[in-house]
Chain A
Amino acid sequence: MSLWVDKYRPTSLGKLDFHKEQAAQLKNLVQCGDFPHLLVYGPSGAGKKTRIMCLLRELYGAGVEKLRIEHQSIVAPSKKKIEINTIASNYHLEVNPSDAGNQDRVVIQELIKTVAQSQQIQSSTQREFKVVLLTEVDRLTKDAQHALRRTMEKYMATCRLILYSTSTSKVIGPIRSRCLAIRVPLPSTEEVCSVLTSVCKKEGLLLPPELAKQISEKSGRNLRKALLMCEACRVQQYPFSVDQDVPETDWEVYLRETANAIVSLQTPQRLMEVRGRLYELLTHCIPPEIIMKGLVKELLSNCDGHLKTEVSHMAAYYEHRLQLGNKAIFHLEAFVAKFMAIYKKFMEDGLDAMMF
């Protein structure tokens, strides 16, 4: 527990650093006793999980923090054995069904049902329901989501679900309508800065506000990343200097270089090089959506204003295909080639216009 991220993570709703209104609302929600299913969503590094854990603590007390990892094995109807890890306390169970891949429906059907069906023995001293925390709901297959619908209604008396995802777009409507959706937005730059400063203060360090601002911008307001960056800065050099360069994640640097390579030359050979780089990114476990997003971001900042709409349109088009297809590299490369074509045409037109 020695990373700052872990060390200074708030553990109760009252101690949360930002979105305090929402925290208060959650507190009220717990106190009024009528606790619904929740769907917590928001970009990564906004503090969704922290918020959920605080909420659980509010519900059940400190006992919820005594966690243990359990290895469960479920036998699918097809006699296939599925191994899955769950994290559980006495009061709740955390599962990532998408770990089971295509068999996630079985996990939903078997695991959650068994938990949901069991009643709490002493309902006088504790709450009458358990909580099942499902992570990465957006990666669930449609089958699994449909399997979830009935379970959610049927075992309402004994079990509440907290679904957790980065976006709701892949969660089917029926599930969304059964949950109270809670969006956890990213903290603002100021909020990130204040968190960084307070953490440094607790560590007995002095963080110059300029550096804090720089870190928060570089991290894209992702608080987890910001804290890690800050700590990495601390490891790199202390006392902090204002113009210290903030370490970045490698893949972002690599992606930026790729985008630059695309803009600087548009030939099939270059496309071949870019393909190699895209493969590299994919094999480093970077999801293709994120590569696409990063590419578009970098390319847009590099190209002319006239092209921006078209480029973003193309990006949306190819991202959609990417979601439908299977081989991400085809679609990524198709986008890159399309961008190259558009960009080249634009540049040549510009040249012609200059000459005449």
Chain B
Amino acid sequence: MDEYEELFGIQDDFEEQFADELEVLAQMEEESSKLEKRRGPGDNISDIEHLLDDQPPTTPKAKRHKQDTGVAKRLFNASQLQERKVPSQNDDITPPSSPENYEPSNTFRSTPAVLDISGFAAIPETPRRPPTAAPASLRVLKRPPLEGEYISVTDSSGSRVYLRQKEDTGTKVVDSRMVPNSLGGLGLLAVPIGVLREQEAEKRHQQVVEESQRLTELLTSSVNDVLVEPESEENEDPEDAEGRASRLWVDRFSPRHYTELLSDDFTNRCLLKWLKLWDTVVFGRERKSRPARSDRPAANQNSFKPNQGNQNQNRFKTKVEITEEILEAELDQYKRPKFKVALLSGPPGLGKTTLAHVIAKHAGYNVVEINASDDRSAEVFQKRIDTATQMKSVLGANERPNCLIIDEIDGAPSAAINILLAVLNRKDGHGGEAATETAKKKKKKESILLRPIICICNDLYVPALRPLRQQAFLLNFPQTQPSRLTQRLAEISQRQGLKADTGTLMSLCEKTDNDIRSCINTLQFLHGRGLKHLDNKTIQCVSVGQKDQNKGLFHLWQEIFQLPRIKRKRIGEGFEETPGSGGGAQRFQHILHLALSSGEYEKVSQGLYDNYLSMRVRDPNLHSVCEALDWLSFSDRVNQEILHGQNFSLMRYLPFLSVTFHFLFAHTHVPRINYPHSQHEASTRLLSSRNALSTMLADIPAGIRTRISQLSLTLDILTLLLDIICPKLRPVNPQLFSTREKEQMHELIDTMLAYNLSYRQDRTPEGQYTYVLEPRVEEVVRFTGLPPRRQLTYQAKQTISREMEQEKMRRAEQLMLQRNPAVKEKDKQEEKKIAGPKPARNHQQRLENIVKQTTVETRPEVDFFGRAVAPKPQRPQPSSDTGEKSAVLAMGTAVGNSDVWFRFNEGMSNAVRRNVYIRELL
């Protein structure tokens, strides 16, 4: 905590500055030591080999060997201790059987792995080779052969091999004779011939190496660095330099400490603070607190909240002054911060990932990263989250707790995000259970999330992230401050020997939208091309730094409709300097580039179309308007061709529309651009009117349906039809209509039914009732701005509506009758059945008498009126019998057979009862 507070003290800036310088120094030191290392072996190779050559290849002795190691030690003096150890160790373990064994030790000195391998590959060769009589077939050697002519060959990776020349037997003899001479040290020459040869070969080799160095230099043009240059003069492996050059500056100069971060201080601080909130749970009393915590909720479940809350609040109140209110929120029952996840968002290249890594390291965590390159399917994701948050490395020195960083989370499938959420919310279900069952809780205890998770995304508003947004501590990255970025760029370029003034770097920042990564990459690219001095013009001309920026449609439209300002000297938006003087081509290129990178041609052209007429066009003859529209219709045709014929190669012609519009309509004024809604609105309205028409058509009877189509409906019929169904009606009760009027009314209703129109009562927002025509075809044919058509009054519509209902009912009944005539009969029966029992009470006495008289054969059991329900199968019979009602006997059987019965008593009103429906009275 203390060191953390220190960080935010005043010395923050100091620190930073010093840190930078220190870093520079450290790096310089490091490099020089490296240099030393490299130089050591490079120089010594030849010497060692000379010495080794002197050795008798036939019988290596222990003494000899010791001497050699001594020499080697002396020679290696310059190099570091560690490296010196390695060869000696090697020697101890396996005493070399031949001088060839020094090869591996040699290779150890040079870092790249390629040589390593080649060196080892040579080892198995050695025992097979009898040193004196080397087989003639073995022509490719790792070392210059002791005897015979050879040619040294250096391959592209810098490793050197020697090709033995085929020689006469005579010379071979001479050579073999000479060898013992040199062996004994009795040579005639001051320097043994082998050594001379070696020197010669070495010289040649050096030349070749230098040559190749120069070539690689030309090719990669990367080794013009001040620091690298001396290395290349030395016998440096070209590979090494290459390896160094291929390392991206972005990685090399990425901040390693909190103080080196370029991103906004406030953001950094917030994130760090949030991360520090975890300290209680992760570090605070790591081993001790956990069991205590597990006890606490069980022990004082009731009084737990206030206690803990007070404590926490007191503890954190000290920092409240500085922190954001989110950060001051109290810890939950597990002493975790309220938000378990931090979600960083912002455009690419601002250093979000770097920030997360640096801060996590700074706070003492071991970073575990999951990014888009990993498999993020649900199961794997779950597993990885669990591994990262629940476990911890046991082996190794890495004993720090994990901090999970989920990078590029906006690309993750929503299933994965749901899993993450489930992990976050685990404690909820768990907390409830914890109160009741401690045993169960212990089992589950490990599944609570106790490690911080940092998520990073570019687009915060991806639908999949929606649930996460509510539960995460959101941190939006603001733009990097150009001044800070420029400063850093200046440092980098200075260190790399690239001269660049602040203005140039500023314009670079501006061009890349303060994208740190893009800036540094551009610098490296320019540097890699051999540029020593960076000026404004190169920055302007280079198109590398420009990524396919997604600037947004409004920006594009604005660029198209606005002439670039003359006074704008710095490049910023592109290449335009002075639009008046020959800037046309540049403007062309600029707009083309913008249009190309936006890609949404459809939307772009729609926006152009919607806005071009409201521009200040000095166009009295409408020529440019005509031309613009010609272009629009051309691009529409191209589009159609593309979509229809799947001919996507035509796509390349689409962005030129924007260029044309720029040259036709660009103006110095700032344009007011509206988002193009018109097309969308039009299509929705078209769809709704189509739907209204098709609902209308759907229920029109077939006889008429066959005569009309949607087209004829809109063009000819509907308007007039709506006129026709608005006749003049007298505002009186329809009963009082004259026959003529009644006929008219009838026709009207007929028409409306035939064309599937009806009035529906509706309530306006003001509370008034109106009748609206259904389906709503009125809107389809009526135009605003035309004189309104005559409308029927509310009463008239009401009347019509009522009449229509009746007519519909009548028709339905008729239809039903037509379809099955029995229904009506049945209906009557039903009615009677309902009506039957009631009057039956009145006549119960008499009926019983009659039934007794007739002695029903079919039904011996009497007194059914008490039960009133007759068996089903006998129901159809009575319908035929009801006709005759005169004879008592017949009546008796009828009564016996049916459950319905009535007798008409003249003059009495209570004799017959039946249900009467309103519709029968209408």
Chain A residues within CB distance 8 Å of chain B: 1-3, 5-6, 9, 44-45, 49-50, 53, 65, 67-69, 85, 87, 94, 96, 135-136, 222, 224-225, 228-229, 231-232, 235-236, 247-251, 253-254, 257, 266-269, 271-272, 275, 279-280, 282-287, 290, 318, 321, 324-327, 329-331, 333-334, 337-338, 340-341, 344-345
| Stretch of B298-306, B390-398, B704-712, B865-873 lying at the A interface | B704-712
Most-contacted residue by chain B among A44, A228, A275, A287 (CB, 10 A): A228
Q: When A250-B719, A275-B613 are in contact, do A282 and B682 touch as well, CB less than 8 Å? A: yes
**Digit string of B610-626 for contact with A (CB within 8 Å is 1, else 0)?**
00011001011111011
Question: Restricting to B700-731, which residues have a CB under 8 Å from any CB of A?
Answer: 702-707, 709-712, 714-717, 719-721, 723-724, 726-728
CA distance A324 to B643 in the complex (A): 12
Q: Are A321 and B686 in contact (CB-based, < 8 A)?
A: no
Q: Are A337 and B622 in contact (CB-based, < 8 A)?
A: yes
Q: Are B715 and A286 in contact (CB-based, < 8 A)?
A: yes
| B780 contact set on A, CB distance < 8 A | 284-285
Q: Are A337 and B625 in contact (CB-based, < 8 A)?
A: yes
CA distance A65 to B402 in the complex (A): 83
CA distance A325 to B705 in the complex (A): 32
Is B229 an interface residue when CB atoms closer than 8 A count as contact?
no
| Selected contact of B703 from candidates A65, A85, A253, CB within 8 Å | A65
| B633 contact set on A, CB distance < 8 A | 318, 321, 325, 330-331, 334
CB distance from B710 to the nearest CB of A (A): 7
Is B241 an interface residue when CB atoms closer than 8 A count as contact?
no
CA distance A290 to B711 in the complex (A): 11
Q: Are A1 and B754 in contact (CB-based, < 8 A)?
A: yes
CA distance A333 to B613 in the complex (A): 11
| A327 contact set on B, CB distance < 8 A | 636, 679
| B719 contact set on A, CB distance < 8 A | 247-251
Q: When A321-B633, A321-B637, A345-B621 are in contact, do A272 and B715 touch as well, CB less than 8 Å? A: no
CA distance A109 to B667 in the complex (A): 56
CA distance A229 to B722 in the complex (A): 11
3 closest A-B pairs by beta carbon, nearest first, are A67-B702, A2-B750, A334-B629
| B726 contact set on A, CB distance < 8 A | 235
A-B contact pairs, 7 of them (CB 8 A): A269-B613, A272-B613, A279-B678, A324-B637, A326-B639, A329-B679, A337-B625
Is B781 an interface residue when CB atoms closer than 8 A count as contact?
yes
Q: Are B717 and A224 in contact (CB-based, < 8 A)?
A: yes
Q: Taking CB as reference atom, which chain A residue is nearest B614?
A: A272
Q: Are B711 and A69 in contact (CB-based, < 8 A)?
A: no
Chain B residues within CB distance 8 Å of chain A: 609, 613-614, 617, 619-623, 625-626, 629-630, 632-633, 636-637, 639-640, 643, 678-679, 682, 685-686, 689-690, 693, 698, 702-707, 709-712, 714-717, 719-721, 723-724, 726-728, 747-748, 750-751, 754-755, 780-786
| B702 contact set on A, CB distance < 8 A | 67-69, 87
| Selected contact of A251 from candidates B619, B622, B781, CB within 8 Å | B781
| Selected contact of B720 from candidates A1, A9, A249, CB within 8 Å | A249
CA distance A285 to B689 in the complex (A): 7
Q: Are B783 and A222 in contact (CB-based, < 8 A)?
A: no
CB distance from B772 to the nearest CB of A (A): 18
Most-contacted residue by chain B among A1, A87, A94, A318 (CB, 10 A): A1
Q: Are A334 and B626 in contact (CB-based, < 8 A)?
A: yes
| B784 contact set on A, CB distance < 8 A | 280
Q: Are A250 and B786 in contact (CB-based, < 8 A)?
A: yes
Q: Taking CB as reference atom, which chain A residue is nearest B700?
A: A69
Q: When A285-B689, A340-B622 are in contact, do A333 and B629 touch as well, CB less than 8 Å? A: yes
Q: When A318-B633, A330-B633 are in contact, do A44 and B754 touch as well, CB less than 8 Å? A: no
CA distance A324 to B635 in the complex (A): 11
Q: Are A338 and B786 in contact (CB-based, < 8 A)?
A: no
Q: Are B710 and A67 in contact (CB-based, < 8 A)?
A: no
Q: Are B711 and A44 in contact (CB-based, < 8 A)?
A: yes
CB distance from B116 to the nearest CB of A (A): 59
| Selected contact of A325 from candidates B617, B636, B685, B717, CB within 8 Å | B636
CA distance A333 to B719 in the complex (A): 26
CA distance A257 to B783 in the complex (A): 12
Q: Are A334 and B632 in contact (CB-based, < 8 A)?
A: yes
CB distance from B677 to the nearest CB of A (A): 11
Q: Taking CB as reference atom, which chain A residue is nearest B781?
A: A250
CA distance A224 to B718 in the complex (A): 12
CA distance A327 to B640 in the complex (A): 9
CB distance from A347 to the nearest CB of B (A): 11
Q: When A266-B622, A331-B633, A331-B636 are in contact, do A231 and B706 touch as well, CB less than 8 Å? A: no
CB distance from A164 to the nearest CB of B (A): 10
Q: When A1-B754, A250-B786, A334-B632 are in contact, do A284 and B707 touch as well, CB less than 8 Å? A: no
CA distance A110 to B643 in the complex (A): 26
| B721 contact set on A, CB distance < 8 A | 3, 228
Q: Are B716 and A224 in contact (CB-based, < 8 A)?
A: yes
CA distance A329 to B605 in the complex (A): 13
| Selected contact of A285 from candidates B710, B747, B755, B783, CB within 8 Å | B710
CA distance A318 to B689 in the complex (A): 26
Q: Taking CB as reference atom, which chain B residue is nearest A65?
A: B703
Q: Taking CB as reference atom, which chain B residue is nearest A230?
A: B720
CB distance from A268 to the nearest CB of B (A): 5
CA distance A32 to B636 in the complex (A): 52
Most-contacted residue by chain B among A1, A68, A254, A285 (CB, 10 A): A285
| B643 contact set on A, CB distance < 8 A | 326
CB distance from A136 to the nearest CB of B (A): 7
Q: When A235-B726, A272-B614, A341-B622 are in contact, do A228 and B686 touch as well, CB less than 8 Å? A: no
- A87-B702, A283-B689, A330-B609 given; name 7 further pairs at CB < 8 Å: A3-B755, A5-B707, A96-B709, A235-B726, A254-B786, A326-B639, A333-B629
| A321 contact set on B, CB distance < 8 A | 633, 637
| Selected contact of A268 from candidates B609, B613, B636, B707, CB within 8 Å | B613
Q: When A6-B754, A236-B723 are in contact, do A286 and B714 touch as well, CB less than 8 Å? A: yes
Q: When A9-B707, A271-B625 are in contact, do A330 and B636 touch as well, CB less than 8 Å? A: yes
CA distance A213 to B563 in the complex (A): 61
Q: Are B705 and A87 in contact (CB-based, < 8 A)?
A: yes
CB distance from A274 to the nearest CB of B (A): 10
Q: When A337-B626, A337-B629 are in contact, do A224 and B711 touch as well, CB less than 8 Å? A: no
Q: Are B754 and A284 in contact (CB-based, < 8 A)?
A: no
CB distance from B676 to the nearest CB of A (A): 12
CA distance A5 to B751 in the complex (A): 11
CA distance A228 to B715 in the complex (A): 12
Q: Are A44 and B629 in contact (CB-based, < 8 A)?
A: no
Q: Taking CB as reference atom, which chain A residue is nearest B752?
A: A2
CB distance from A80 to the nearest CB of B (A): 18
| A266 contact set on B, CB distance < 8 A | 622
Q: Taking CB as reference atom, which chain A residue is nearest B692?
A: A285
CA distance A229 to B639 in the complex (A): 42
| Selected contact of A334 from candidates B630, B682, B711, B720, CB within 8 Å | B630
| B685 contact set on A, CB distance < 8 A | 283
CB distance from B314 to the nearest CB of A (A): 67
Q: When A67-B706, A69-B702, A228-B721 are in contact, do A283 and B693 touch as well, CB less than 8 Å? A: no
| A236 contact set on B, CB distance < 8 A | 723
| B783 contact set on A, CB distance < 8 A | 250-251, 253-254, 280, 284
Q: Are A330 and B716 in contact (CB-based, < 8 A)?
A: no
CB distance from B294 to the nearest CB of A (A): 56
| Selected contact of B704 from candidates A1, A65, A344, CB within 8 Å | A1
| B632 contact set on A, CB distance < 8 A | 330, 334
| Selected contact of A49 from candidates B617, B629, B637, B706, CB within 8 Å | B706
CB distance from A165 to the nearest CB of B (A): 11
CA distance A334 to B637 in the complex (A): 13
CA distance A248 to B781 in the complex (A): 12
| B712 contact set on A, CB distance < 8 A | 44-45, 224
| Selected contact of A67 from candidates B617, B629, B703, CB within 8 Å | B703
CB distance from A213 to the nearest CB of B (A): 18
Q: Are A287 and B711 in contact (CB-based, < 8 A)?
A: yes
Q: Are A1 and B703 in contact (CB-based, < 8 A)?
A: yes
